[in-house]
């Protein structure tokens, strides 16, 4: 089945249990939790932990590649800093959302630097697998940075209005 002897995870057992017991549906996406992405990946990969490891490595390699191709960063220095981050290596070993979040952020930043729409599509799709809130953040950021935003140059006012709106929407949805 592709099991590995070493296991280090936080939510992996929950994702694996849900992958075996719940049908894949958008019911896994709720206000406070998003289980859809990890369960989808597990279902696609047949729950095989070795394939999950390869998927996670592919996410990390894609994030690394898009960053070094888009930004003037030293490949060796970035690789060095990534190796200092314990999250990177532990995230490779089991199904989780953190490694997908790294890829989503890398592709979103690359889109803003290059304007390549395929990078935006990858960022938004990957961010939804992490949390719908991350996707919403990206869309709101794009709206705030857009030339169509009348408050774009008034950053403090934009931030205040956004915080106020989020607070109202969040409180309204706590009961659901």
pLDDT for 1: 55
Rounded Cα–Cα distance for residues 121 and 44 (Å): 20
pLDDT for 29: 61
Q: In three state form, how does the secondary structure of 97-158 look? A: CHHHHHHHHHHHHHHHHHCCHHHHHHHHHHHHHHCHHHHHHHHHHHHHHCCCCCCCCCHHHH
On whether the CB atoms of residues 33 and 13 are closer than 8 A, the answer is: no
Low-confidence residues of the chain: pLDDT under 50: 6-9
Rounded Cα–Cα distance for residues 135 and 168 (Å): 19
Distant-in-sequence, close-in-space partners of 40: CB < 8 Å, separation ≥ 6: 24, 129
pLDDT for 7: 47
pTM over 0.85: no
């Amino acid at each position: 089945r592709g099991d590995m002897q070493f296991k280090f995870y936080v939510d992996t057992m929950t994702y694996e249990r849900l992958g075996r017991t719940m049908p894949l549906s958008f019911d896994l996406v709720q206000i406070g939790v998003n289980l859809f992405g990890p369960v989808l990946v597990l279902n696609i990969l047949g729950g095989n932990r070795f394939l999950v490891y390869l998927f996670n490595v592919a996410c990390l390699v894609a994030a690394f590649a898009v960053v070094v191709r888009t930004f003037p960063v030293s490949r060796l220095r970035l690789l060095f800093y990534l190796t200092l981050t314990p999250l990177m290596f532990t995230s490779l070993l089991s199904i989780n959302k953190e490694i997908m979040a790294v890829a989503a952020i890398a592709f979103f930043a690359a889109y803003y630097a290059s304007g390549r729409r395929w990078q935006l599509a990858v960022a938004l799709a990957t961010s939804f697998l992490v949390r719908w809130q991350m996707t919403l953040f990206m869309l709101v950021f794009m709206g705030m940075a857009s030339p169509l935003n009348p408050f774009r140059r008034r950053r403090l006012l934009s931030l205040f209005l956004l915080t106020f709106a989020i607070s109202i929407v969040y409180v309204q949805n706590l009961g659901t």
